[in-house]
Amino acid sequence: MKCSKCGREAVYHARYTGRYYCRKHFNEMVEKKFKETVKKYRLIAKGERIAVGVSGGKDSVVLMHLLAKLREKFPFELVAITIDEGIAGYRPPSVGIARRNAEKLGIEHRIYSFKNHIGFTLDETVEIMGSFEKGERVGACSYCGVWRRWLLNYAAKDVGADKLAVGHNLDDEVQMFMMNIMRGDIARLGRTGPYYEEIHPELVPRIKPLREIPEKEIVLYAILNGIEVDFSECPYAVEAFRAEIRDWINEMEERHPGTKYQILRSYDKLFPLIAKTYTKRTSELNRCKICGQPTTGEICKACSFRIQVEEKSKGHELHTPP
Ligand SMILES: [Zn+2]
Ligand SMILES: [Zn+2]
């Protein structure tokens, strides 16, 4: 097939619009969607310091490249943050990929590890908590998710960032929306939608400049532009429910192209209402007695998880190499 714009050989067919794209016009289309998302919701202001969370995976690495490109025309500061959860065999190569990409783009890169900032790697946590008696067991992903969120916020503050950019793409966003709808957890949808909300002075606002770009297009963008990314999956990832939702949405998209964008548009329309009703404000939030990050209780989830693991680790000899 030929590019709908210039007639050159097409490399991509966007079924949701019916258009074909050559390599050059595909790149233009992706970059335009990214720029328009930033512009439409004023995600970045001139001169701001933006931290970008880079795991080494396709989304975050492509996000860093697009931000670096945007910065050429629209000056702002950029610093890359990588969280090292301490997962043997999986993290070391992806941290290397994040570092090499940042180096190539001339972006300052900082690594924050679970080991240094929480006290345990994820592997150690699984080893310690794995012997949990019935009813106490919480999966590795629960610890990892809570700690990563906490440490990303800590890191963003530590580097003096005004905002934290994360690599959520269209598919992530639509899956998250549908998952929370199906669980009846509407409050969770009020946290970060199309634009950011200033919730608490200790919480660096999150922005998601890739939320209008399908996963497929991010993969192709990385390949076409020779960007080194990590395609491997976390060995602990077993989110069965999310996988079902993903397959179901992909099937609907296949049969009814444009479904994902329609779901996103619904979310965008609902977001202001949800945020207004459910988002907790500074006045309703406490500072964690241990770390100072915002929480609804006395001690935040990240600190209470850490205390749990510390308690359990007493008298436990670690087998995982440091
Ligand atoms: Zn073309
Ligand atoms: Zn805390």
pLDDT one-digit tens code per residue, 51-86: 999 999 999 999 999 999 999 989 999 999 999 999
83 a known binding residue? yes
Question: Residue 257: exposed, middle, or buried by beta-carbon count in 10 A (0-12, 13-18, 19+)?
Answer: middle
Residue 117 known to bind ligand: no
Q: Which ligand is nearest to the CA of 21?
A: 1
- CA–centroid distance, residue 112 to ligand 2 (Å): 17
Is 47 annotated to bind ligand? no
Task: State how far the Cα of 269 lies from the Cα of 317, in Å rounded to an integer.
Answer: 52
At 132 the pLDDT is: 45
Q: Annotation-wise, does 144 bind a ligand?
A: no
Question: Separation of 53 CA from ligand 2 center, angstroms?
Answer: 21
Task: Give the lowest-confidence range in 134-138, 261-265, 306-310.
Answer: 134-138
State the chain's mean pLDDT as an integer: 91
Which ligand ends up closest to the CA of 151? 2
Give dist(CA 197, CA 77) in Å, integer: 21
pLDDT for residue 120 is more than 90: yes
Over residues 275-284, the pLDDT tens digits come to 888 776 667 7
Please, are residues 43 and 14 in contact by the beta-carbon 8 Å criterion? Answer: no
The pLDDT of residue 309: 92
Please give the distance, rounded to the nearest whole angstrom, from the Cα atom of residue 306 to the centre of ligand 2: 9
User: What pLDDT score does 281 carry?
Assistant: 67
Residue 134 pLDDT > 60, yes or no? no
Q: Give CA angle at 222 (218, 224), nearest 5°.
A: 110
Question: Which ligand is in closest contact with the Cα of 3?
Answer: 1
Q: Tell me the domains of the chain and their CATH numbers.
A: 27-313 (3.40.50.620)
CA-CA distance, 115 to 109, in Å (whole number)? Answer: 18
Q: Kindly state the average pLDDT of the residues 180-205.
A: 82
Average pLDDT over residues 251-267: 97
Per-residue model confidence as pLDDT tens digits over 3-38: 999 999 999 999 999 999 999 999 999 999 999 999
Average pLDDT on 225-237 reads: 89
